[in-house]
C-alpha cells in the first residue's frame, strides 16, 4: 500500500492560537497579582445570528485567558445617540481597556460615526481612522485582528516575506487593505486585487504569497496558484448544510502550495487570539506598563 506524503506545511491557526492563549493567560495572571484585570466591552446591536455567535466566542475566549468581558446587547431599534452615549461612558470607564462594536450594525446606524466615537486607545479592533492612519505610516499601536493574525501565522512558520510577490484578493477596510499594508511593511511587493481586477487568475499565479479574502467558496482553484506558493485563506463561507469552507479549493491547491491554511482552523482562531492580545496591550498601555 502506498502512503500519501504531504508536501505542504499546514499553517495551523488553531494550534498557534492555543499557544498564544497559554502565554496570554500567564501574562494576565501576572497582572492580576498586581490587582490589574484587563477588561473588554463588547457591544452588539440587534439579533444577527452570526454576530451573536461571534460575540459568544469572544466572551468564551476572554474567560479562557482571564480577561473580564462586559457585554452590552442592545435592541435592533436602538437610537444612534443612545449607542454613542454608551460608547462615551465606556471611554471614561477605567475598568474597560478595550471597546468593540460588533459589525455589521443595523442600517439606521452610521458605522463610521460609531467607530469614530471609540477612544483610539481602546479601539482593540483597530478600525478607528486614527489607528488606520498609524498602521498606514508603519507604527500601529493596534493592528486589525485578522491581518495581524495572518502575520503571526507567517512569522511562526518562519516564512520570509521580504522581496516576495504578495497578492491580496479583497480590498475591504477590515481585511484586504490592512493586510496589504502589513505585508508592505514587511517588505513584500504587494498587489491588491478586487472584483474589477482584469484577469485575476494571471495576477494570482504570480504570487509567492497569495492571500484570499473574497468570501466565495472554492473560488481560488489550483490554476490560480503558482507551484510552491504560500496560500492564506481568510474566507469564511457556509454551504447549504452549514459547513464552513474557505475561498480556496484546499484539496487541489494544497498539492501545489508549499504552505497553506485550512478552513476552519486557520485564520479564524488567529483573529480571535489577536483580539485578546490587543486587549492585553491596551491594558498594559492604560496601566503604563512596557509593551511586549
Q: 69: which strand partners?
A: 40
- Give whichever of 2 and 242 is closer to ligand NDP, judged by the CB atom: 242
Listed in sequence order, the DSSP H helices in the chain are 13-33, 49-65, 80-92, 111-117, 129-136, 145-156, 176-185, 200-204, 250-253, 267-286
Rule CB under 6 A: which of 145-174 touch ligand NDP? 146, 169-172, 174
The answer to whether 93 is a known catalytic residue is no
Of the residues 195, 201, 221, 238, which one makes contact with ligand NDP according to CB under 6 A: 195
Rule CB under 6 A: which of 227-246 touch ligand NDP? 234-237
Cβ–Cβ contacts within 10 Å for residue 110, how many? 13
Of the residues 188, 213, 230, 280, which one makes contact with ligand NDP according to CB under 6 A: 213
The answer to whether 68 is a known catalytic residue is no
**Cα 232 to Cα 225: distance, rounded to the nearest angstrom:** 11
Nearest residue to 7 (alpha-carbon basis) of 264, 259, 206: 259
Overall residue count recorded for the chain in this entry: 292
The answer to whether 125 is a known catalytic residue is yes
Of the residues 194, 206, 238, 243, which one makes contact with ligand NDP according to CB under 6 A: 194
Inter-residue long-range contacts of 87-92, CB under 8 Å, 24+ positions, other chains counted:
87/43, 87/114, 87/117, 87/118, 88/117, 90/41, 90/122, 91/117, 91/118, 91/119, 91/122
Residues in contact with ligand NDP, total (CB under 6 A)? 25
139 binds ligand NDP (CB under 6 A): no
Q: What is the dihedral of CA 284, 45, 172, 207, to 10 degrees?
A: 70
Catalytic residue among 21, 58, 122, 277: 58
**Cα 162 to Cα 117: distance, rounded to the nearest angstrom:** 36
Of the residues 215, 222, 286, 287, which one makes contact with ligand NDP according to CB under 6 A: 215
Binding-residue pattern over the window 243 to 272 for ligand NDP, x denoting contact by CB under 6 A: ------------------------xx--x-
- Give whichever of 129 and 265 is closer to ligand NDP, judged by the CB atom: 265
Rule CB under 6 A: which of 23-42 touch ligand NDP? none
Nearest residue to 209 (alpha-carbon basis) of 266, 169, 156: 169
* The residue to which cell 454608551 is assigned: 86
Catalytic residue among 61, 97, 123, 125: 125
Could you tell me whether strands 189-193 and 244-245 are parallel, antiparallel, or unpaired per DSSP bridges?
unpaired
- Give whichever of 96 and 151 is closer to ligand NDP, judged by the CB atom: 151
- Give whichever of 83 and 145 is closer to ligand NDP, judged by the CB atom: 145
211 binds ligand NDP (CB under 6 A): no
Which residues are part of the catalytic machinery?
A: 58, 102, 125
- Chain residues binding ligand NDP by CB under 6 A are 146, 169-172, 174-176, 193-197, 200, 213-216, 234-237, 267-268, 271
Amino acid at each position: 500500500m502506498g502512503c500519501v506524503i504531504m508536501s505542504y506545511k499546514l499553517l495551523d491557526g488553531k494550534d498557534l492560537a492555543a499557544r498564544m492563549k497559554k502565554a496570554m493567560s500567564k501574562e494576565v495572571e501576572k497582572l492580576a497579582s498586581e490587582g490589574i484585570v484587563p477588561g473588554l466591552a463588547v457591544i452588539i446591536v440587534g439579533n444577527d445570528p452570526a454576530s451573536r455567535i461571534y460575540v459568544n466566542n469572544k466572551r468564551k475566549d476572554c474567560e479562557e485567558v482571564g480577561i473580564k468581558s462586559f457585554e452590552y446587547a442592545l435592541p435592533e431599534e436602538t437610537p444612534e445617540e443612545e449607542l454613542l452615549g454608551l460608547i462615551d461612558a465606556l471611554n471614561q470607564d477605567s475598568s474597560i481597556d478595550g471597546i468593540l462594536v460588533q459589525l455589521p450594525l443595523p442600517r439606521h446606524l452610521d458605522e463610521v460615526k460609531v467607530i469614530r466615537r471609540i477612544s483610539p486607545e481602546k479601539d482593540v479592533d483597530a478600525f478607528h481612522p486614527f489607528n488606520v492612519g498609524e498602521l498606514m505610516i508603519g507604527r500601529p499601536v493596534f493592528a486589525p485582528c485578522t491581518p495581524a493574525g495572518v502575520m503571526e501565522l507567517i512569522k511562526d512558520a518562519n516564512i520570509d516575506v521580504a522581496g516576495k510577490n504578495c497578492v491580496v484578493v479583497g480590498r475591504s477596510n477590515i481585511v484586504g487593505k490592512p493586510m496589504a499594508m502589513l505585508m508592505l511593511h514587511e517588505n513584500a511587493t504587494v498587489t491588491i486585487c478586487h472584483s474589477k481586477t482584469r484577469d485575476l487568475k494571471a495576477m494570482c499565479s504570480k504570487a509567492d504569497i497569495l492571500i484570499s479574502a473574497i468570501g466565495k467558496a472554492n473560488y481560488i482553484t489550483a490554476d490560480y496558484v503558482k507551484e510552491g506558493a504560500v496560500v492564506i485563506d481568510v474566507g469564511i463561507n457556509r454551504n447549504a448544510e452549514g459547513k464552513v469552507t474557505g475561498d480556496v479549493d484546499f484539496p487541489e491547491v494544497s498539492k501545489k502550495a508549499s504552505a497553506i491554511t485550512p478552513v476552519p482552523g486557520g485564520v479564524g482562531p488567529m483573529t480571535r487570539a489577536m483580539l485578546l492580545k490587543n486587549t492585553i496591550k491596551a491594558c498594559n498601555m492604560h496601566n503604563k506598563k512596557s509593551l511586549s
